[in-house]
Amino acid sequence: MRTTELFVKMVIDRWNGSILNLNKLLNALTDEQIEKEITIGKNSGRYLLGHLIAVHDEMLILLDMGEKLYPELLEPFIKQADKEATQSQSVAELREMWEKQNAHLQTKFEKMEPEEWFEKHSAVSEEDFAKEPQRNKLNIIITRTSHLQYHSGQIVLLN
């Protein structure tokens, strides 16, 4: 296997593994459990699920992979905090969005050639990218996997 291909595989495998892990956690929880706060006064499972979908939707833009699926989630699940937000989406709706989004991202990822992952992401200028080549598309996957794991560690506490 070529080095570039190998490296992409390592990063994407960890992303896929993290998604699978969270799917297992979500499948083990009822909608009522997901409605609850992780612990007193903290974010609810519903907020965290909406937040992950909203953040992963932003990835489509950062990775130049077309339009967002759920632009309506930006306001209630990223810009607003849980307690102040007016989120009308139910847990059942969020679960469906999450599954569709994962399938969509997977299809997009599979179309990428290994080298394309090392192109600049859309939020960095050509000038900055020349100086900081680590600000590439693959790095978006690395940082979003970290973010996903962080919140997965919280969602598991609902069980």
Positions that interact with its own copies (CB under 8 A): 1, 3-4, 6-7, 9-11, 13-14, 17-18, 38-40, 42, 118, 133-134, 136, 138-139, 142-143, 145-147, 149-154, 157
3-state DSSP assignment of residue 44: strand
What is the Cα–Cα distance from 17 to 24, expressed in whole angstroms?
11
Q: How far is the CB of 26 from its own copies (least distance, A)?
A: 15
Contact 138, 118 (CB under 8 A): yes
Q: How far is the CB of 72 from its own copies (least distance, A)?
A: 26
Q: Which residues contact 122 (CB under 8 A, 6 or more apart)?
A: 61, 62, 63, 64
Q: How many CB atoms lie within 10 A of CB 98?
A: 20
Q: Name which of 6 and 81 has its Cβ closer to its own copies.
A: 6
Q: How far is the CB of 90 from its own copies (least distance, A)?
A: 24
Q: How far is the CB of 2 from its own copies (least distance, A)?
A: 10
> 4: closest CA among 89, 119, 102?
119
Q: Name which of 18 and 102 has its Cβ closer to its own copies.
A: 18
Q: Name which of 40 and 84 has its Cβ closer to its own copies.
A: 40
